[in-house]
Structure 1
Amino acid sequence: MDLRPIRWPDDAPRLQGFDASYSTSTIFVPEVVGMSVALRETGLAVPFRKTYAPETLGEAAAAAAFAVAAESTSGAFEGFATVQLQRWNRSAELSALFVAPGSRGRGLGRILLAAALHFARSERVRCMTLETQTSNVPAIRFYQRMGFRFCGIHTALYDPAAVAQEEVAVFFTYALDVP
């Protein structure tokens, strides 16, 4: 496996064919009390499965300031990460980080995240932010292990005609300690 920059639009077919799905038997349910928010993990009777529309994966790479793929020896993408810069507040957004189901559990997510953080530091941004869904328990646990801190939710971000009702936007941030 090698990391290499994503070449847009040449890599569009591989990104559009990438399996970024996940499945979970628990979700986080936001509990809002006054001005406080907590996430309560809740078991599901039937596992929740999420798939992403192929065109959204390519859009993340096309709009990114940084896009890197983990490519297998056969040329298939095993994972990829993208970062968008927000110059107005010196932050970076981890706009995508996906590892193919067959490549999970081997440390590839850590490698891709390290590359994204390295890029962000080289751009002298002060923090990295990300957004995921309350249904994406595997990602939430991963980001917490990597040092990201929960910083809020957005209950109306997603179009209810396009996502499951269980999905609420959850935001995390990572301080980069760059002056």
Structure 2
Amino acid sequence: MPDVAVRKQLITVEEILHEGGPVAAVPLKRGAALAVIANPFAGRYVEDIAGFMEDLKPLGLAMARRLLAALGGEAAAIEGYGKGAIVGAAGELEHGALWHVPGGYAMRELLGDAKAIVPSTKKVGGPGTRLDVPVTHINASYVRSHFDAMEVGLPDGPKADELVLALVMTTGPRVHARVGGLKASEIKGEDGLR
């Protein structure tokens, strides 16, 4: 498989104090790590692309480490996660799916025994395309207070022959979560759902 050629990377962290209600004692942090890489399959149909997932694993782990560090460095502080990819116009949606294993497993490896599936999204678009990366609780996908999303993107990517790969982590529920459902304190941790 081809080498992973990174053009640029970005780390961003939001600190959310309130959304019109009372100021949180501890702000919610949402962070994203993005990497713009060359799409080795752009411009043509390639049948066997799955091997590129293995090539992306070191990048996924490096991005997850940088993101965790930007959020304070404590794996125990991370409660939510998600991933996504933006495929340049000369690629196909399936090229974004190559990020599922290297992106998801990198975060799960760093965060210990995370049980929930890492939610994901992908789309095809040009430079400046924005992507809403879905977020759920790391141990139970049904924890409603942690249903969230973070918008990501770069002004100059992806070019037609590039991919933008994204990881997102959060330190807690939405800052004013109050719509009921399964609470984080009620997680049984048996199946990644509840």
Q: Which has the higher contact order (CA 8 A, sep 6+)?
A: 2
Bigger strand fraction: 1
Q: Same fold (TM over 0.5)?
A: no
TM-score, normalized by length of structure 1?
Answer: 0.31
TM-score, normalized by length of structure 2?
Answer: 0.30
